[in-house]
Structure 1
Amino acid sequence: MYVADSRASRAGSADGSARDASRPGRRAALAPTVFALGTVSLITDVSSEMVSAILPLYLVVGLGLSPLGFGLLDGVYNGVSALVRLVGGHLADRGDGRHKTVAVLGYGLSALCKPLLLLAHTLPLIGAVLAADRTGKGLRTAPRDALISLSSAPEARGRAFGVHRAMDTAGALLGPLAAFLILRATVDGYDAVFMVSFCVAAVGVVVLVLFVPGRRAVAVPRAPEPHPEPEKAPTLRAAFRLLREPGVRRITLCATLLGLATVSDSFVFLLLQRRLGVPDRWFALLPLGTAAAFLLLAVPLGWVADRIGRLRVFLAGHGALLVAYGLLLWSGSGSGSRSGVVSGFGSVIAVLLLHGAFYAATDGVLMAAASDQVPARLRSSGLALVQTGQALARFVCSLTFGAAWTAWGDRTALTGSLVALAVCALFCLKVNPWREPV
Structure 2
Amino acid sequence: MEVCPYCGSSVADQHHTSYAARLIHALSHPLAEVRMRAIIALGLRREEGAATALLACALRHPVDVTEGVAVAQALGNMLDSRPAVQALTVLSERHPARAVRRASRALLQAGGSWRHGHRAPALQERRCGGSSGSNPDRDRSPMNGRSATEGVQMFRQVFSLPSTVWLLGLVSLFNDSASELVYPLVPIYLASVLMAGPRALGIIEGIAEMVSSLLKLFSGIIADRVHRAKFLVVCGYSLAAISRPLLAFATAWPIVLALRFADRLGKGLRSSPRDAMLAASVSGDQRGLAFGLQRAMDNAGAVVGPLAATMLIAAEMPITEIFLWASLPGAMAVFLAVSVREPAREIRYDGKPPDWNLQKLPRVFRRYLWVLALFTLGNSSNMFLLLRARELGLPEYQVPLLWGATSLVAMLFSTHLSGLSDRVGRVPMIFAGWMIYALFYLCLGLNGSGLSLLWPLFAFYGLFMAATEGAEKALVADMAPPALLGTAYGWFNLTTGVMLLPASFIFGSLWQYAGPVTAFGFAAGCSLLAAILLKLWVK
**Interval containing the TM-score (normalised by the shorter chain):** 0.7 to 0.9
Measure how far apart 1:385 and its partner are.
3.3
| Aligned CA distance change for structure 1 residues 127 and 168 (closer, same or farther; 3 Å) | same
Q: Which of 90, 109, 115 lines up with 2:245 in the alignment?
A: 115
**Is structure 2 residue 464 aligned with structure 1 residue 358?**
yes
| Match runs of 1:305-316 below 5 Å | 305-316=421-432
Measure how far apart 1:126 and its partner are.
1.6
Q: Which of 357, 360, 375 lines up with 1:241 in the alignment?
A: 357
| Aligned CA distance change for structure 1 residues 163 and 305 (closer, same or farther; 3 Å) | farther
Q: Deviations over 1:256-288 (max 9, x none)?
A: 3321111321101112222x3212232222211
Aligned counterparts of 2:325 and 2:485: Cα–Cα separation in 1: 35
Q: Which residue of 2 aligns with 1:232?
A: 350
The SS at the match of 1:399 is: helix
Q: Deviations over 1:276-314 (max 9, x none)?
A: 321223222221121111111122123223333345433
Q: Which residue of 1 aligns with 2:195?
A: 64
**Is structure 2 residue 160 aligned with structure 1 residue 42?**
no
Q: Which of 274, 278, 303 lines up with 2:419 in the alignment?
A: 303
Q: Which of 414, 419, 430 lines up with 2:520 in the alignment?
A: 414
Q: Which residue of 1 aligns with 2:20?
A: none
Aligned counterparts of 2:426 and 2:394: Cα–Cα separation in 1: 35
Let me know the Cα RMSD of the aligned residues.
Answer: 3.4
**Is structure 2 residue 349 aligned with structure 1 residue 198?**
no
- Matched letter for residue 314 of structure 2: R
Measure how far apart 1:36 and its partner are.
4.4
Aligned counterparts of 2:538 and 2:486: Cα–Cα separation in 1: 25
| Aligned CA distance change for structure 1 residues 95 and 241 (closer, same or farther; 3 Å) | farther
Aligned counterparts of 1:148 and 1:368: Cα–Cα separation in 2: 18
| Match runs of 1:170-209 below 5 Å | 170-185=300-315, 187=317, 189-209=318-338
Q: Which of 426, 432, 440 lines up with 1:324 in the alignment?
A: 440
Measure how far apart 1:112 and its partner are.
1.6
- Matched letter for residue 358 of structure 1: F
Q: Which residue of 2 aligns with 1:268?
A: 385
Q: Deviations over 1:233-264 (max 9, x none)?
A: 4633x2x1366212653554443332111132
Measure how far apart 1:51 and its partner are.
0.6
| Aligned CA distance change for structure 1 residues 41 and 203 (closer, same or farther; 3 Å) | same
Measure how far apart 1:215 and its partner are.
6.5
Q: Which of 279, 283, 302 lines up with 2:399 in the alignment?
A: 283
**Is structure 2 residue 348 aligned with structure 1 residue 210?**
no
Aligned counterparts of 2:332 and 2:481: Cα–Cα separation in 1: 33
Measure how far apart 1:103 and its partner are.
2.5
Q: Which residue of 2 aligns with 1:20?
A: 97
Aligned counterparts of 1:91 and 1:84: Cα–Cα separation in 2: 10
TM-score normalised by length of structure 1: 0.78
Q: Which residue of 1 aligns with 2:72?
A: none
| Match runs of 1:90-105 below 5 Å | 90-94=221-225, 96=227, 98-105=228-235
- Matched letter for residue 263 of structure 1: S
Measure how far apart 1:386 and its partner are.
1.6
Q: Deviations over 1:361-415 (max 9, x none)?
A: 2223333443456688986665343222112212211000001111110111111
Give aligned-pair identity as a percent: 31
Measure how far apart 1:87 and its partner are.
2.3
The SS at the match of 1:25 is: helix
Q: Which residue of 1 aligns with 2:10?
A: none
Aligned counterparts of 2:251 and 2:349: Cα–Cα separation in 1: 50
| Match runs of 1:128-139 below 5 Å | 128-139=258-269
Measure how far apart 1:165 and its partner are.
2.9
**Is structure 2 residue 367 aligned with structure 1 residue 367?**
no
Measure how far apart 1:213 and its partner are.
4.2
| Aligned CA distance change for structure 1 residues 146 and 379 (closer, same or farther; 3 Å) | farther
Aligned counterparts of 1:316 and 1:150: Cα–Cα separation in 2: 34
- Matched letter for residue 180 of structure 2: E
| Aligned CA distance change for structure 1 residues 142 and 206 (closer, same or farther; 3 Å) | same
**Is structure 2 residue 535 aligned with structure 1 residue 405?**
no
Aligned counterparts of 2:427 and 2:333: Cα–Cα separation in 1: 31
Q: Deviations over 1:97-154 (max 9, x none)?
A: x344322222221112122223221122221111111111112223334555677888
Deviates more, 1:248-257 or 1:46-55: 248-257
Deviates more, 1:203-212 or 1:173-182: 203-212
Aligned counterparts of 2:483 and 2:387: Cα–Cα separation in 1: 42
The alignment of Structure 1 onto Structure 2 pairs a total of residues equal to 394
Aligned counterparts of 1:323 and 1:170: Cα–Cα separation in 2: 27
Measure how far apart 1:63 and its partner are.
1.3
Measure how far apart 1:158 and its partner are.
7.2
The SS at the match of 1:264 is: coil
| Aligned CA distance change for structure 1 residues 143 and 153 (closer, same or farther; 3 Å) | same
The structure having more radius of gyration, on CA atoms, is: 2
Structure 2: runs of 5 or more not aligned: 1-62, 66-94, 105-149
Check whether the contact 1:155–1:306 (CA below 8 A) recurs between aligned residues: no
Aligned counterparts of 1:112 and 1:298: Cα–Cα separation in 2: 31
Aligned counterparts of 2:240 and 2:286: Cα–Cα separation in 1: 30
Check whether the contact 2:361–2:484 (CA below 8 A) recurs between aligned residues: no
Check whether the contact 2:418–2:471 (CA below 8 A) recurs between aligned residues: yes
Aligned counterparts of 2:289 and 2:440: Cα–Cα separation in 1: 26
- Matched letter for residue 101 of structure 2: R
Q: Deviations over 1:148-169 (max 9, x none)?
A: 5677888997776555433211
Check whether the contact 1:82–1:391 (CA below 8 A) recurs between aligned residues: yes
Higher RCO structure (Cα 8 Å, ≥6 apart): 1
| Aligned CA distance change for structure 1 residues 146 and 257 (closer, same or farther; 3 Å) | farther
The SS at the match of 2:388 is: helix
| Aligned CA distance change for structure 1 residues 50 and 310 (closer, same or farther; 3 Å) | same
The SS at the match of 2:409 is: helix
Aligned counterparts of 1:415 and 1:205: Cα–Cα separation in 2: 41
TM-score normalised by length of structure 2: 0.65
Deviates more, 1:291-300 or 1:252-261: 252-261
Check whether the contact 1:291–1:356 (CA below 8 A) recurs between aligned residues: yes
